Copies of this chain bind each other. A is one copy, B any other.
Amino acid sequence: MGDFTHFDDKGDAHMVDVGEKDITERIAKAVASITMQPETLKLIQDGTAKKGDVLGVARLAGIMAAKKTADLIPLCHPLALTHVGVEFTVHNSDNTIEALATCKLKGRTGVEMEALTAASISVLTIYDMCKAVDRGMIISNTRLLEKSGGKSGSYKAS
């Protein structure tokens, strides 16, 4: 197991130099899940179909957050993302909504943090919109699903 790249030889934080890396297509997919009361999930599902579109607001929040990643994560590079998408899957069996965020870039560094940020802010927005009826919602299983492009190659979560 190697060393952290976000620190220089003296152990000080820096935004690592990616100038020599190749411009390739970078893709990352990340997920985050939020678990709630069955009544809360029902309200969301009713709303999406009829009125009060919680998931529509949460999707947009996630897409916009991906564009703010370099503002939020101190050592992330500013990137000109070419694509951001957020999809929700409702799991009625365990009262959970999963957000899957996909980010793409033609650039010199990966977009894992952008996908993770999009997924995280999407489910936080669901929390915000439903917290008046259910404060005990829990966000879990936020992780990178897969990434491709760049020198470190592809990764797929087991």
Which A residues have a C-beta under 8 Å from some C-beta of B?
A: 1-8, 10-19, 25, 32, 37, 39-40, 43, 47, 50-54, 56-57, 59-61, 63-68, 70-87, 104-108, 112-113, 116-117, 120-121, 124-125, 127-144, 147, 152, 155, 157-158
Closest to A146 in B: B135
A1-B133, A39-B1, A51-B10 in contact; A16/B73 too (CB < 8 A)? no
A132 to B141, alpha carbons, bound, how many Å?
20
The verdict on A138 contacting B141 (CB below 8 Å), with A1-B39, A51-B11, A75-B129 known, is yes
CB<8 Å pairs between A and B, sample of 18:
A1-B133, A1-B134, A3-B52, A4-B47, A4-B133, A7-B47, A11-B53, A14-B63, A15-B85, A19-B25, A19-B105, A19-B106, A72-B121, A73-B121, A73-B125, A113-B124, A136-B144, A140-B142
Name the residue of chain B whose CB is nearest to the CB of A32: B139
A18 surroundings in chain B (CB, below 8 A): 82-83
Return the contact of A59 from the options B12, B32, B120 (Cβ within 8 A).
B12
Nearest first, the 10 A-B pairs at minimum CB distance are: A11-B51, A139-B142, A17-B83, A7-B52, A140-B140, A19-B82, A14-B85, A15-B84, A11-B52, A138-B143
Known interface pairs A61-B72, A112-B131; 14 further A-B residue pairs with C-beta atoms within 8 A, sorted by A's residue number: A1-B133, A4-B43, A12-B86, A14-B83, A32-B139, A53-B53, A61-B73, A64-B72, A67-B71, A67-B78, A75-B129, A77-B82, A112-B135, A135-B157
